């Protein structure tokens, strides 16, 4: 026994001894690459030497060898593997498998094929994905649905999607005439009507009032704390369905201030004083909240709105986005709506984007705003780059929510064969993005070449103004 273990120790020692010198050839190899690079490209040598002196000063500060890779001139180039999406939700071929090229192997145990079909880049991720990025997808189909007489509501917030810290969403359906009861909340509310039309009313702190009927593709917005109502009209026999977005990730639709809930929790003595009448006037106040309930469809137009001595709310809480002309782009279109056009909407801005098959919403980021996105039509793929080599790809189908924190680079690719339509929504007054292509186009080309090794032909493809959506590559 003793003999064997000393043998093992000897082996271990010898392997350590033999492994150690291997470090030296690697180091001298990269030095050789660096000197070859600087002699081949004299223009780049000043960058290379300043980079290596920076690296030296860093490593002299560090007490243990740095885990950061060497300066760019000595780093191997990226792989040219295309890493395309491998299937889409409607592919009728064999069940998808976690295999990409020579990586992975088929599934032998149980699996949810339906979810696998919709999430190709979860099961067979591109090899460019790396590290940890939070869950940036939530399908409303997985939300608990609150069913009421007259409609339903389902929500997404940090309880189900912890990654989405700055905004939350609700999908709500009201049958014709049904009411989402009079209420308020301390967050702003931004809405996009998906079908039918909804009549909205509000009163502000100056005693001014507002009424409007908001149709499919149009918006409404209520500032924080403003009391309001929503009622589906019978313009569409099915009533109305809409998307609501709130500027707090922790918002809960079950936690709003409801008219009936309040009055059921105030002493009747106080009600008699407040409304200057006797207790019998309150005999019909519901003892529990109504939330969503059926009623008679509202009258057309604004005839039912009482005239306020303070007048109407001057900046309308509704915006006819469906009538706004989209900016046509190579590969799609965009409508941007923020407080420059929808002046009341000071806490939430948005873009409605279309992307044709094979085109992409270009590589970009939003300087200070998180993005809460909602997929309306088509299929999409998004890779979020979260710095420190962390990158993760997600797939989206209609009814899915996406999320990209401020600053994180991303794109949106149409991976289907129909038009992709989605909303980008931000907790800001002004829509802003930074186009990667435009950043590089407006930076001294020698700097860009020094980083990416682009030739003049490739540099000539950069866009000096943001293309936003870019059609399929002509190559
Ligand atoms: C009703 O709408 C008409 C036409 O848009 C407008 O002139 C009028 O001021 C509105 N009245 C109220 C009470 O909103
Ligand atoms: C799904 O992918 C296949 C193969 O890539 C493509 O031919 C088909 O058109 C796609 N279907 C949809 C609905 O996007
Ligand atoms: C899109 O893809 C679906 C499913 O793969 C197919 O049935 C359909 O014909 C395709 N449409 C077009 C326009 O290519
Ligand atoms: C690339 O463009 C620069 C600036 O116009 C020029 O000086 C250089 O010669 C070009 N390089 C090649 C390989 O054409």
Determine if ligand 3 sits within 6 Å of the CB of residue 90: yes
Rounded percentage of the chain residues whose pLDDT exceeds 90: 81
At residue 472, the pLDDT reads 84
| Binding-site annotation: residue ranges for Mn(2+) | 183, 185, 189, 228, 364, 366, 371, 410
What kind of architecture, by CATH, is found in domain 146-319? Sandwich (2.60)
Indicate which residue's Cα is closest to atom 9 of ligand 3.
417
Q: Which residue has the higher pLDDT, 32 or 352?
A: 352
- pLDDT tier for residue 40 given thresholds of 50, 70 and 90: very low
Are 240 and 232 within 8 A, CB to CB?
A: yes
Identical fold at 146-319 and 325-470?
A: yes
Q: Which ligand is the nearest neighbour of the Cα of 316?
A: 1
Asked: is 325-470 a CATH 2.60.120.10 domain? The reply is yes
Q: Where are the beta strands (DSSP E) in 248-344?
A: 257-258, 292-293, 318-319, 327-329, 332-337
Determine if ligand 1 sits within 6 Å of the CB of residue 302: yes
Q: Ligand 3 center to residue 353 CA distance, Å? A: 22
Q: Ligand 3 center to residue 417 CA distance, Å? A: 6
Q: Ligand 1 center to residue 242 CA distance, Å? A: 25
At residue 265, the pLDDT reads 98
Indicate which residue's Cα is closest to atom 13 of ligand 3.
417
Of all atoms in ligand 2, which is nearest to the CA of residue 418? Answer: 14
- pLDDT tens readout for residues 63-99: 444 555 444 567 899 999 999 999 999 889 899 999 9
Q: Ligand 2 center to residue 139 CA distance, Å? A: 21
Residue spans per domain, the chain: 146-319, 325-470
Q: Ligand 2 center to residue 91 CA distance, Å? A: 6
Q: Ligand 1 center to residue 199 CA distance, Å? A: 14
302, 304, 307, 315: which to mutate for ligand 1, most atoms within 8 A of CB? 302
Q: Which residues are catalytic?
A: 424
How far apart CA 180 and CA 230 sit, in angstroms, is 5
- pLDDT tens readout for residues 138-197: 999 999 999 999 999 999 999 999 999 999 999 999 999 999 999 999 999 999 999 999
Please enumerate in sequence order all residues whose Cβ is within 8 A of that of 359, keeping only pairs 6 or more positions apart, or say none.
330, 331, 332, 413, 414, 469, 470, 471, 472
CA geometry: angle at 166 spanning 165 and 167, to 5°? 105
Determine if ligand 1 sits within 6 Å of the CB of residue 295: no
Of all atoms in ligand 3, which is nearest to the CA of residue 91? Answer: 5
| pTM for this predicted structure | 0.84
- pLDDT tens readout for residues 339-365: 999 999 999 999 999 999 999 999 999
How far apart CA 102 and CA 335 sit, in angstroms, is 43
How far apart CA 118 and CA 420 sit, in angstroms, is 15
Determine if ligand 3 sits within 6 Å of the CB of residue 417: yes
Residues with CB under 6 A from ligand 2: 88, 90-91, 379, 416-417
Please enumerate in sequence order all residues whose Cβ is within 8 A of that of 91, keeping only pairs 6 or more positions apart, or say none.
117
Indicate which residue's Cα is closest to atom 2 of ligand 3.
417
State yes or no: pLDDT of 30 exceeds 60.
Answer: no
| Binding-site annotation: residue ranges | 183, 185, 189, 228, 364, 366, 371, 410
Indicate which residue's Cα is closest to atom 5 of ligand 2.
87
How far apart CA 184 and CA 173 sit, in angstroms, is 19
Dihedral angle of Cα 77, 98, 130, 65, to the nearest 10 degrees: -80
């Amino acid at each position: 026994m003793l003999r064997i273990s000393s043998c093992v120790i000897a082996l271990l020692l010898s392997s350590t001894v033999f492994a150690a010198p291997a470090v030296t050839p690697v180091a001298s190899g990269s030095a050789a690459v660096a000197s070859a690079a600087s002699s081949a490209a004299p223009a780049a040598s000043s960058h290379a030497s300043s980079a290596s002196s920076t690296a030296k000063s860093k490593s002299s500060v560090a007490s243990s060898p740095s885990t950061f890779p060497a300066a760019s001139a000595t780093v191997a180039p990226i792989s040219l593997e295309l890493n395309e999406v491998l299937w889409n939700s409607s592919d009728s071929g064999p069940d998808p498998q976690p295999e990409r090229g020579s990586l992975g192997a088929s599934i032998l145990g149980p699996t949810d094929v339906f979810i696998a079909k919709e999430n190709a880049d979860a099961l067979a991720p591109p090899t460019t994905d790396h590290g940890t990025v939070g869950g940036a997808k939530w399908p409303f189909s997985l939300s608990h649905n609150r069913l009421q007489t007259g409609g339903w509501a389902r929500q997404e917030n940090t309880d189900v999607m912890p990654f989405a810290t700055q905004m939350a969403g609700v999908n709500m359906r009201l049958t014709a005439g049904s009411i989402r009861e009079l209420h308020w909340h301390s967050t702003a509310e931004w809405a996009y009507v998906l079908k039918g039309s909804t009549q909205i009313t509000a009163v502000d702190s100056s005693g001014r009032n507002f009424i409007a009927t908001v149709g499919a593709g149009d918006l409404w917005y209520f500032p924080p704390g403003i009391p309001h109502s929503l009622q589906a009209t019978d313009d569409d026999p099915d009533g109305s369905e809409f998307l609501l977005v709130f500027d707090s990730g922790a918002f809960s639709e079950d936690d709003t201030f409801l008219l009936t809930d309040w009055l059921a929790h105030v002493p009747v003595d106080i009600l008699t004083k407040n409304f200057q009448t006797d207790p019998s006037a309150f005999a019909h106040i519901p003892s529990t909240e109504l939330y969503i309930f059926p009623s008679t469809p509202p009258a057309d137009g604004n005839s039912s709105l009482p005239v306020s001595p303070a007048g109407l709310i001057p900046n309308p809480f509704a915006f006819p986005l469906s009538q706004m002309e989209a900016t046509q782009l190579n590969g799609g279109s965009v409508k941007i709506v923020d407080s420059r056009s929808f002046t009341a909407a000071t806490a939430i801005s948005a873009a409605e984007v279309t992307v044709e098959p094979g085109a992409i919403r270009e590589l970009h980021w939003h300087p200070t705003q998180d993005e809460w996105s909602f997929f309306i039509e088509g299929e999409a793929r998004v890779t979020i780059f979260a710095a420190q080599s962390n990158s993760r790809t997600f797939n989206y189908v209609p009814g899915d929510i996406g999320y990209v924190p401020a600053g994180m680079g991303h794109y949106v690719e149409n991976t289907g064969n129909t038009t992709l339509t989605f909303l980008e929504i931000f907790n800001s007054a002004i829509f802003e993005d930074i186009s990667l292509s435009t950043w590089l186009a407006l930076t001294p080309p020698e700097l860009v070449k020094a980083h990416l090794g682009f030739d003049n032909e490739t540099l000539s493809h950069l866009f000096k103004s943001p293309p936003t959506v870019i059609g399929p590559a002509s190559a």
